[in-house]
């Protein structure tokens, strides 16, 4: 039996915390809650979470401030970061992986959890020594190439998030193609396959595009974690 997803929810509105946690529990998710970003950060440091849902405007520490701190202190175990807000998405939410608009849509939350579960269930293994043997370069050069791969993919993932947010179909296709090529070059098959799906998906189906974005982000985060343990 698979362990349930574990999610941290931070919102200064008690009603919203209860509502969202009840929706999560409906889908078998374990939840912890906090009334602001500062307390959420303290809870995060004590446990593992698959995703952190942060209200954008909170006292003491805002959602974007908390998200930035999570990225800074835990790059090797970064959870899916979801911004929740009653207002439309703005530039201050760029560090988030997903944007959830209030009032909450049950179907959207279920789809998001399904995408996260699918990404976490997929096998993530990588035999770096075997890749070195196949490509035929020395280990030092391959490590340099891997560092460059992480840098490029981090930048392109941000470009992909921006393209999805702007619903720029041509840019989504272009960035996904670049990411697919980089993943193929380093023989990261899970990531290559997801980027290929994003390149070829019907871009008018924005729900499917967003869910693929979640899976790509999770896959890249897990792959990078293999090299930071």
Higher pLDDT: 107 or 16? It is 16
Stretch 187-214: mean pLDDT: 90
Residues 214 and 115: beta-carbon distance below 8 Å: yes
Residue with tokens 């999770």: 218
How many Cβ atoms are within 10 Å of 92's Cβ, its own excluded?
A: 15
Phi and psi of 30, rounded to 5°? -85, 130
Work out the pLDDT band at 217, boundaries 50, 70, 90.
confident
Residues 221 and 97: beta-carbon distance below 8 Å: no
CA distance 33 to 9: 5
CA distance 202 to 222: 26
Residue with tokens 């070195």: 132
* Token pair in block for residue 78: 């970064």
Higher pLDDT: 79 or 195? It is 195
* Token pair in block for residue 14: 């008690």
Model confidence pLDDT, tens digit, residues 35-92: 999 999 999 999 989 999 999 999 999 999 999 999 888 877 788 889 998 887 666 7
Higher pLDDT: 226 or 135? It is 135
* Token pair in block for residue 228: 């930071």
Nearest-5° angle of CA 107, CA 196, CA 176?
85
- Is residue 102 within a helix (H) or strand (E), and if so which, with residue range? none
CA distance 203 to 164: 9
Measured CA to CA in angstroms, residue 214 lies from 104, 133, 134 at distances of: 18, 32, 31
Looking at the predicted structure, is the pLDDT value of residue 213 above 80? yes
What is the pLDDT, as a whole number, of residue 4?
Answer: 87
What is the pLDDT, as a whole number, of residue 102?
Answer: 85
What is the pLDDT, as a whole number, of residue 63?
Answer: 94
Model confidence pLDDT, tens digit, residues 167-192: 899 999 999 999 999 999 999 999 99
**How many residues does this entry show for the chain?**
229
What is the pLDDT, as a whole number, of residue 106?
Answer: 86
Work out the pLDDT band at 1, boundaries 50, 70, 90.
very low
Closest by CA to 187, choosing from 132, 114, 108, 227, is: 132
Residues 112 and 98: beta-carbon distance below 8 Å: yes
Looking at the predicted structure, is the pLDDT value of residue 229 above 60? no
């Amino acid at each position: 039996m698979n362990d349930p997803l574990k999610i941290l929810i931070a919102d200064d509105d008690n009603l919203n915390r209860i509502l969202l946690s009840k929706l999560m529990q409906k889908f078998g998710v374990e939840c912890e809650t906090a009334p602001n970003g500062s307390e959420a950060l303290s809870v995060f440091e004590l446990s593992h979470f698959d995703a952190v849902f942060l209200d954008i405007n909170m006292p003491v520490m805002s959602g974007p401030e908390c998200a930035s701190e999570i990225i800074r202190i835990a790059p090797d175990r970064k959870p899916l970061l979801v911004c929740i807000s009653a207002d439309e998405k703005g530039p201050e939410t760029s560090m988030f992986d997903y944007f959830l608009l209030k009032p909450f849509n049950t179907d959207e939350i279920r789809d998001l959890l399904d995408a996260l579960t699918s990404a976490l269930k997929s096998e993530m293994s990588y035999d770096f020594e075997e890749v070195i043997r196949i490509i035929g370069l020395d280990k030092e050069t391959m490590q340099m190439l891997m560092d460059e791969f992480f840098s490029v993919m981090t930048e392109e993932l941000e470009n992909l998030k921006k393209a999805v947010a702007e619903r720029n179909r041509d840019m989504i296709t272009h960035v996904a193609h670049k990411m697919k090529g980089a993943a193929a070059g380093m023989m990261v098959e899970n990531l290559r396959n997801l980027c290929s799906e994003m390149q070829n998906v019907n871009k008018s189906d924005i729900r499917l595009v967003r869910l693929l974005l979640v899976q790509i982000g999770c896959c890249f985060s897990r792959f990078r974690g293999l090299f930071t343990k």
